Amino acid sequence: MGEEDYYLELCERPVQFEKANPVNCVFFDEANKQVFAVRSGGATGVVVKGPDDRNPISFRMDDKGEVKCIKFSLENKILAVQRTSKTVDFCNFIPDNSQLEYTQECKTKNANILGFCWTSSTEIVFITDQGIEFYQVLPEKRSLKLLKSHNLNVNWYMYCPESAVILLSTTVLENVLQPFHFRAGTMSKLPKFEIELPAAPKSTKPSLSERDIAMATIYGQLYVLFLRHHSRTSNSTGAEVVLYHLPREGACKKMHILKLNRTGKFALNVVDNLVVVHHQDTETSVIFDIKLRGEFDGSVTFHHPVLPARSIQPYQIPITGPAAVTSQSPVPCKLYSSSWIVFQPDIIISASQGYLWNLQVKLEPIVNLLPDKGRLMDFLLQRKECKMVILSVCSQMLSESDRASLPVIATVFDKLNHEYKKYLDAEQSYAMAVEAGQSRSSPLLKRPVRTQAVLDQSDVYTHVLSAFVEKKMPHKFVIAVLMEYIRSLNQFQIAVQHYLHELVIKTLVQHNLFYMLHQFLQYHVLSDSKPLACLLLSLESFYPPAHQLSLDMLKRLSTANDEIVEVLLSKHQVLAALRFIRGIGGHDNISARKFLDAAKQTEDNMLFYTIFRFFEQRNQRLRGSPNFTPGEHCEEHVAFFKQIFGDQALMRPTTF
Amino acid sequence: MAAAAAGAGSGPWAAQEKQFPPALLSFFIYNPRFGPREGQENKILFYHPNEVEKNEKIRNVGLCEAIVQFTRTFSPSKPAKSLHTQKNRQFFNEPEENFWMVMVVRNPIIEKQSKDGKPVIEYQEEELLDKVYSSVLRQCYSMYKLFNGTFLKAMEDGGVKLLKERLEKFFHRYLQTLHLQSCDLLDIFGGISFFPLDKMTYLKIQSFINRMEESLNIVKYTAFLYNDQLIWSGLEQDDMRILYKYLTTSLFPRHIEPELAGRDSPIRAEMPGNLQHYGRFLTGPLNLNDPDAKCRFPKIFVNTDDTYEELHLIVYKAMSAAVCFMIDASVHPTLDFCRRLDSIVGPQLTVLASDICEQFNINKRMSGSEKEPQFKFIYFNHMNLAEKSTVHMRKTPSVSLTSVHPDLMKILGDINSDFTRVDEDEEIIVKAMSDYWVVGKKSDRRELYVILNQKNANLIEVNEEVKKLCATQFNNIFFLD
């Protein structure tokens, strides 16, 4: 297994904390992602480290008994510490507020506090075995105010900070889950739902274990993930992960089943919208993407691992401090250790070693592990950091050694442009809404976010196509690929940029395929534009019909009338130029001098006469006299006319 | 008698007249360098009709030789192209150095009944247009070259003997298909009718062609036609021009009848797992299930000026869409290859053909061009050989029918001759008999001929009408008013 094969890795800079031991208790807060190392109940110090903070917070507190739970409110404003099963202690970390501790006892009689969760910087929820209590903390008064409470029997609870949802396990089998949602001082009860437990031997009492449940946001939706060790329905012995979708409104629904095809101890993470399932027995992990196509049975979609199982990439423990001097080689870290604790979405903690890692997905190795390019694109387009990888996939499939077939290339382009078009549409409707003045009335109107999956024409041109045409590939293939990309853009009704057309023309001209070029232009495959028309004009000496093609294009643009006149005059087609400008009604504004110059250059006296007479008539019509005004600078032409045809040939002013 | 008269238009004397259209009197090919010493007949490479007595053949060839030699003294670079006599016209063409092709056409005849009842024959000396028949003669060569290569190549391959054999084999049949009575302006142009299509469908066809060339990797060139109109040519323009002529006047018409007869039969349901499709070979094997089916395809010769390529011509058709695959002659397509082609191309071409048909109908409905316009026109662009005619009906294997009087067609030919004389753009308006006006316009290598039938129209009104026509039919090209 080469190193390039691992597609999961631990982050390079873990959060390091003092190892858990009898005097040092370690706590993890999922909301702030902070690790608390509490030495001797806080008396000899508490060190708080978060993933982003450079400077850990450290403080001391009096040892008032064993700490059961310790968490900062959001933004580290207030510290809450649970030491007994009835009370939670608070301490303000806000400047100018008293740092004296204050205590809140749970309201429900005879209830035991199972734990607490901060839902904002000053709002906290106590979960007791008899219900939940929602409080507002008033730090300046050093007291709490009960906002709301709800009574029900609770076995255990789970909190998802991203969506501010608390899940309570109720009933004897523990498998009825009651979600609550918290938002700005309100607590709302969501419809409860039941997790189907697998059939178990009669001797053991089935129940839902807290360990087998996780909550995570996947593709913007909240899911409850249930690790079912034995399949309920099928005969397969493998375990599976059942995903229940928990919508903001409406009932929870079973949506996806991830087939693990193995049994044993598992742990779940969610990274970049992928469900990662770690298997301790084999020390490997698999990933699932619920957006990839699975087998739909009418109500639930079954998914298989996207890729073959692989271990997390081996990790060397970075050596710091005095150890670095003594020990030469870094120590390899034991992966899938039984002391690992996994938190959602992507956190792995080794309390015994004192590390907190974020799990990461590496996309490059996946390119070679997923041979189906269409599926690979579907997968990559959903990933956060996908742009460069996708571009490299595109370059690779056009390279000589790994050349893909045209249908595959077409599929890849279609998938890119589908994503690109979605963004363009969102952008457009946003722009229209802003224009219509909806921006003030509707707070929901947001500018669409451009993710890395949006690869526009300039990306593909710069990183893929411009290099591709330089390679010595058979020109048939080069042209086929360019046309396929243009076809795909057209299919999604995306206006093709002229540099792509130029690339096609350049390639065709390089191989003397002018007749092909002609046919493409004939069917307007290469869209009209002034730059393209000028490019065609420049090809006239190699391919004479290019002149006609260019003029046609200028004509269709209908904004290039001046250019048409210039082209015709440069070809000494003075009469044609004049007829054209008269045809579109612009002949009163043209420069007489320009036309007379061109007519004189043809050395065709009759033509000069005709043009001269035309302008004399124009002068007569516009100013009542056939004479040219000094501003027109036609003296030289008048002299020339007289010299050839004589004074008497000049037009006489009509008198009334 | 009545039938002959009806075919030629009906004047007041129709009942008393018999008209005979122009006809091919003789057609021969010679090379003056061959055997001026020993027998004169060695010069003659091909002579039609073959029954003519040897001395007469030699005399006729000698006469042509003399005329060409004689006129060369006046115009060394452009010797005589045609010779007008009372009874016939001779056309000369030298397609390869010292190889001369001569076609003798009898002028049309009117046989009148004189007062005493005796028939009087009148040759119509001015009826035939030089340009039309010179073009027909040149086309004869191009068609020969397409299927046989150049004269010189035959000489190199097998001497005079082989050349004579090839000429005999080809022209014996080909001359029977010349319909000299229905030749007109379109023969001068030798144009290509392009199928009008929206960009997206066109790109789909491109994509189809590229994929087919990739999966049938021996294909060198591809051409795609729909409804006998060209959509794509991988061949160069001049080669395509003659191939198009062959396809539309010979190969396709021959296959129209069976197609109409057996609309449902081409579906091959007997091949299990195979998508049903309408594809079939127009050249090559007739029945793919016959293990003894012959996979012989016509050979064609292209790019004879430089690379000189010999190719097999595979023509495959599904509904109205026809695709020509051209593969190098050194590769011999096997039955397996034909079956593979059928299984890959057949289903996709069937789908594509119905896509094109659907799209075409949508476009037609949108443009609303279903109504016949009040005028007839012929358009030709020298640059891409695009040709469009509302004068001609659909071509049948035998004759191309026109919907206007032959006299009007002749006026068109005359205008065309005028246009050839000068390089500059020009416009000619002719008032023809009865209520007809004929307008010819030439603008930057494009020619447009319009026939208007408007009672009591004057010059200005006719001019306006033509302007309107240009604005509606040709608004997307640069065509001077």
- Which site among A411, A413, A548 would you substitute to test the B interface, given the most B Cβ atoms closer than 10 Å to its Cβ? A548
Instruction: State the pLDDT confidence band at B268, using cuts at 50, 70 and 90.
Output: very low
Q: What angle do the packed helices A475-491 and A406-435 form, to 10 degrees? A: 30
CB A128 within 8 A of CB A85: no
Task: Decide which of A645 and B266 is more confident.
Answer: A645
The pTM score is 0.85
State whether B477 and A555 contact (CB < 8 Å): yes
**Residue found by looking up tokens 């929901």 in the block:** A444
The radius of gyration computed from the CA coordinates of chain A, to the nearest angstrom, equals 38
The residue of chain B nearest to residue A406, with distances taken between CA atoms, is B211
Cβ-Cβ contacts under 8 Å for B16 (sequence gap 6 or more) = B112, B113
Give me the residue from A516, A548, A573 closest to B445, CB to CB. Answer: A548
Contacts of A554 in chain B (CB under 8 A): 478
Strand B109-113 relative to strand B18-20, pairing: antiparallel
What CA–CA distance (Å, rounded) separates B143 from B164? 16
Percent of chain A with pLDDT over 70: 93
Q: How far is B268 from chain A (nearest CA, A)?
A: 26
> Smallest Cα–Cα separation from B238: which of A490, A514, A264, A508?
A514
Q: How far is B295 from chain A (nearest CA, A)?
A: 27
CB A620 within 8 A of CB A653: yes
Residues of A (567-626) whose Cβ lies below 8 Å from B: 573, 576, 579-580, 583
Instruction: Report DSSP state, residue A476.
Output: H
- Whole-number Cα distances in Å, A433 to A422, A425, A427, A447, B63: 16, 12, 10, 10, 85
> Smallest Cα–Cα separation from B89: which of B19, B31, B46, B137?
B137
Instruction: State the pLDDT confidence band at A62, using cuts at 50, 70 and 90.
Output: confident
Give me the residue from B203, B234, B443 closest to A525, CB to CB. Answer: B203
Give me the residues paired with residue A358 across strands.
A347
pLDDT in tens, A335-345: 888 888 999 88
- Whole-number Cα distances in Å, A574 to A126, A598, B183: 91, 7, 38
Instruction: State the pLDDT confidence band at B1, using cuts at 50, 70 and 90.
Output: very low
Mean pLDDT of chain B: 84
Q: How much is the pLDDT for B3?
A: 34
pLDDT in tens, B240-265: 999 999 999 889 888 875 555 444 44
> Which H helix or E strand runs over A568?
helix A561-570
Q: Is the pLDDT of residue A524 over 50?
A: yes
Q: How much is the pLDDT for A201?
A: 57
**Mean pLDDT calculated for residue range B159-187:** 90
Whether the CA torsion A380, A385, A387, A392 is positive or negative: it is negative
Window from A191-205, A370-384, B443-457 with minimum mean pLDDT: A191-205
Instruction: State the pLDDT confidence band at B43, using cuts at 50, 70 and 90.
Output: confident
Contacts of B443 in chain A (CB under 8 A): 576
Give me the residue from A519, A552, A583 closest to B232, CB to CB. Answer: A519
pLDDT in tens, B182-191: 888 889 999 9
Strand A253-259 relative to strand A301-303, pairing: parallel
Largest CA distance in chain A: 128
Tokens of A448: 């669409």
Judging by beta carbons within 10 Å of its beta carbon (0-12, 13-18, 19+), is residue B382 exposed, middle or buried? middle
Sheet containing A102-105: which strands, arranged edge to edge?
A: A69-72, A78-82, A87-92, A102-105
Q: How many CB pairs under 8 A join A and B?
A: 85
pLDDT in tens, A193-239: 888 877 665 556 667 888 889 999 999 999 999 998 875 555 566 88
Q: How much is the pLDDT for B395?
A: 53
Contact with chain B for residue A516, Cβ under 8 A: yes
Q: How far is B481 from chain A (nearest CA, A)?
A: 7
Task: Decide which of A50 and B36 is more confident.
Answer: A50
Give me the residue from A490, A518, A548 closest to B444, CB to CB. Answer: A548
CB A72 within 8 A of CB A34: yes
Alpha carbon dihedral B194, B200, B206, B209, in 10-degree steps, equals -100
Contact with chain A for residue B471, Cβ under 8 A: no
Give me the residues paired with residue A59 across strands.
A46
Instruction: State the pLDDT confidence band at A53, using cuts at 50, 70 and 90.
Output: low
How high is the ipTM of this complex?
A: 0.87
Q: Is the pLDDT of residue A256 over 90?
A: yes
What CA–CA distance (Å, rounded) separates B236 from B226? 19
> Long-range contacts: B56-60, Cβ < 8 Å, 24+?
B57/B28, B60/B26, B60/B28, B60/B104
**In whole angstroms, what separates CA B444 from the centre of its chain?**
24
State whether B476 and A406 contact (CB < 8 Å): no
Instruction: State the pLDDT confidence band at B400, using cuts at 50, 70 and 90.
Output: low
Percent of chain A with pLDDT over 90: 35
φ, ψ for residue A189 (rounded to 5)? -90, 125
- Which site among A412, A487, A490, A547 would you substitute to test the B interface, given the most B Cβ atoms closer than 10 Å to its Cβ? A487
Q: How far is A180 from chain B (nearest CA, A)?
A: 52
What would the DSSP string read from start to end of A59-122? E-----S--SEEEEPGGG-EEEEE-SSSEEEEEE-STTS----EEEE-SSTT--EEEEEESSSS
Q: What angle do the packed helices A635-645 and A605-623 form, to 10 degrees? A: 120
State whether B480 and A552 contact (CB < 8 Å): no
Whether the CA torsion B10, B11, B12, B17 is positive or negative: it is negative
Q: How much is the pLDDT for A327?
A: 53
Window from A222-226, A440-444, B56-60 with minimum mean pLDDT: A440-444
Q: Is the pLDDT of residue A95 over 60?
A: yes
Tokens of B150: 């150049």
Instruction: State the pLDDT confidence band at A276, using cuts at 50, 70 and 90.
Output: very high
Contact with chain B for residue A296, Cβ under 8 A: no
What CA–CA distance (Å, rounded) separates B437 from B459? 9
Q: Is the pLDDT of residue B273 over 80?
A: no
The residue of chain B nearest to residue A494, with distances taken between CA atoms, is B200
State whether B476 and A484 contact (CB < 8 Å): no
Whether the CA torsion A53, A56, A59, A65 is positive or negative: it is positive
- Which site among B206, B237, B442 would you substitute to test the A interface, given the most A Cβ atoms closer than 10 Å to its Cβ? B206
Contacts of B200 in chain A (CB under 8 A): 487, 490-491
Give the three-class secondary structure for A623: helix
CB A197 within 8 A of CB A208: yes
What CA–CA distance (Å, rounded) separates B15 from B112? 10
What CA–CA distance (Å, rounded) separates B235 from A35? 73
Q: How much is the pLDDT for A652?
A: 79
Tokens of A126: 């106590």
Task: Decide which of A629 and B167 is more confident.
Answer: B167
Up-side HSE of residue B199: CA atoms within 13 Å toward CB?
Answer: 19
Strand A213-218 relative to strand A221-228, pairing: antiparallel
- Which site among B199, B200, B224 would you substitute to test the A interface, given the most A Cβ atoms closer than 10 Å to its Cβ? B199
